[in-house]
């Protein structure tokens, strides 16, 4: 059975009801007997008796990703993002849990029987084939007839702006061009879900920013569900419709970029997404007037003269500027609070020069911000 045949004729008609990707209680433990898909680890022990040697890479994940969504998995290195993606693609067998694609349980199906395609972090191009043959590969193995195949390959190469490169070998391309070939090779099959594992990770900053915009545009043009793995919070916030924040094999929060940035569910999310400005314990009681942990985003805080009066709807704290970092458009101030702890404050350099900004070091200041920007952070 080919995935083509199983596809309903009109795509996305039940999109509101059925998730494009649904993960139920997904767990992956490496090092157990019989699950060693990872080659080259060299460990000869396959007895699996020693549970101390196993790694719990994914520790129970429940997630619904809607049809047509640009969904990011954000988290630090080692948090289980790649492993989750590889289970969706079919390269790893889950230790427990289920994977449903458009309502169909694919947990035990091999990769070639799933209607998803992957853009690999290292691109994984076929070095012995031309660019055109790389892109055509999925169509060839699925026996798409020649004329249609050629038209679709040409379309895909045009979409990633690589017309005229079809006879080149991957070895003759730049990193950015290889990345585009990998994208075209996946998109040409018109999968319902595209998985991308840090696809821009190997590119330099400028190219990465260009490709972010381009990827988002392509996703909107083709309407395919993108599941995008990244450790770069900026990237996740700018590109995603929704994102999940991963930590130690679990999801800490799922939401829109605004949700996650402005209402972090946990201390970890507050710290990982954006700068960690946490007020807790005594400091929180003194400044916010409530118990628990709060976060304030650095750009919401204003620097004021020590003797100024805060407005009634404002929270305020006294402190000393400990460090000044000039960032070009912004300046970052690290302020040691009299009530204990530190806050990071960023101010746009609208009227300040670098000299003025840097001379602020050591000065006593009053920090003020609207009380609505005190965001309570859930404790885990």
Partner 1 sequence: MVESRAVRIALRVVSVFVMTFLYLPLVILAIYAFNPSRLLVWPPTGFTLGWFAEAANNPAISVAVVNSLIVGALATVLALILGTLAAIAVHRYSFFGRQTISFFLVLPIALPGVVTGIALRTSFVTFGIDFGLFTIVVGHATFCVVIVYNNVVARLRRLPRSPEEASADLGADMWTTFRRITFPGLGTALLSGGLLAFALSFDEIIVTNFTAGAGTQTIPMWILAAIQRPTELPVVNVVALVLVTFSIIPVYLAQRISGGAAAGVSR
Ligand X SMILES: Nc1ncnc2c1ncn2[C@@H]1O[C@H](COP(=O)(O)OP(=O)(O)O)[C@@H](O)[C@H]1O
Q: Which of 44, 147, 164, 312 binds partner 1 (CB under 8 A)?
A: 44
Q: In sequence order, which residues have a C-beta less than 8 Å from that of residue 284 and are 6 or more positions away?
A: 290, 291, 292, 293, 294
* Site membership for partner 1, residue 141 (CB under 8 A): yes
Only segment of 56-64, 87-95, 96-104, 301-309 that touches partner 1 (CB under 8 A): 87-95
Sequence-distant (≥ 6) Cβ neighbours of residue 18 within 8 angstroms: 67, 102, 103
Distance CA 81, CA 245 (A): 9
Indicate whether 38 belongs to the interface with ligand X (CB under 6 A): yes
Interacting positions 76-135 with Mg ion (CB under 5 A): 82
- Which H, E and C letters describe 231-266, residue by residue? CCHHHHHHHCCEEEEEECCEEEEEECHHHHHHCCCE
CB of 333 within 8 A of CB of 344?
A: yes
Residues 183-222 that bind Mg ion (CB under 5 A): none
Using CB under 6 A, which of 10, 47, 49, 77 touches ligand X? 77
Residue placing its CB nearer to partner 1 in the complex, 141 or 358: 141
Q: Which of 12, 48, 78, 376 binds ligand X (CB under 6 A)?
A: 78
Out of 9, 145, 147, 171, point to the residue binding partner 1 (CB under 8 A): 171
Cα-based angle 341, 344, 346 (whole degrees, multiple of 5): 160
Among 72, 79, 83, 118, binds partner 1 (CB under 8 A): 118
In the list ligand X, Mg ion, partner 1, none, the entry touching 326 (Cβ below 5 to 8 angstroms by class) is none
Residue 78 binds which of partner 1, Mg ion, ligand X, none (CB < 5-8 A, kind-dependent): ligand X
The option from ligand X, Mg ion, partner 1, none interacting with 306 (CB < 5 to 8 A, set by class) reads: none
Q: Is 124 exposed, middle or buried (0-12, 13-18, 19+ CB in 10 A)?
A: middle
Minimal distance, residue 49 CB to Mg ion, in Å: 29
Q: What is the largest CA-CA distance in the chain?
A: 78
**What is d(CA 194, CA 111) in angstroms, rounded to the nearest whole number?**
13
């Amino acid at each position: 059975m080919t995935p083509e045949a199983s596809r309903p004729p009109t795509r996305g008609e039940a999109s509101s009801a059925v998730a494009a990707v649904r993960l139920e209680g997904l767990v992956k433990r490496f090092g157990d007997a019989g699950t060693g898909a990872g080659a080259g680890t060299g460990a000869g022990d396959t007895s699996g008796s020693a549970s101390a040697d196993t790694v719990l890479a994914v520790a129970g994940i429940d997630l619904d990703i809607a049809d047509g969504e640009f969904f990011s998995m954000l988290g630090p290195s080692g948090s289980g993002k790649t492993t989750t993606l590889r289970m969706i693609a079919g390269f790893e067998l889950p230790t427990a849990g289920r994977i449903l694609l458009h309502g169909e349980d694919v947990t035990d199906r091999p990769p070639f029987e799933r209607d998803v395609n992957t853009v690999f972090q290292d691109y994984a191009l076929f070095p012995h084939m031309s660019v055109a043959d790389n892109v055509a590969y999925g169509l060839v193995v699925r026996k798409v007839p020649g004329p249609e195949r050629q038209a679709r390959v040409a379309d895909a190469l045009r979409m990633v702006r690589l017309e005229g490169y079809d006879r080149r070998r991957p070895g003759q391309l730049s990193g950015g061009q290889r990345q585009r070939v990998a994208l075209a090779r996946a998109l040409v099959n018109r999968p319902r879900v595209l998985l991308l594992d840090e696809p821009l990770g190997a590119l330099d900053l400028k190219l990465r920013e260009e490709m972010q915009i381009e990827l988002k545009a392509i996703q909107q043009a083709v309407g395919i569900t993108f599941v995008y793995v990244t450790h770069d919070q900026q990237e996740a916030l700018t590109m995603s419709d929704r994102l999940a924040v991963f930590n130690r094999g679990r999801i800490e929060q799922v939401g829109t970029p605004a949700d996650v940035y402005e209402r972090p569910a946990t201390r970890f999310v507050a710290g990982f997404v954006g700068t960690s400005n946490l007020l807790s314990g005594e400091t929180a009681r003194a400044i916010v007037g409530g118990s628990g942990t709060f976060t304030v985003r650095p750009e919401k805080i204003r620097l004021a003269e020590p003797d100024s009066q805060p407005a009634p709807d404002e929270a305020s704290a006294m402190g000393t500027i400990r460090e000044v970092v000039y960032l070009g458009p912004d300046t970052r101030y690290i302020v040691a609070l009299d009530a204990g702890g530190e806050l990071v404050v960023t101010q746009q350099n609208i009227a300040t020069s670098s000299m003025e900004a840097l001379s602020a070091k050591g000065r006593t200041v009053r920090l003020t911000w609207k009380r609505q920007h005190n965001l309570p952070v859930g404790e885990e």
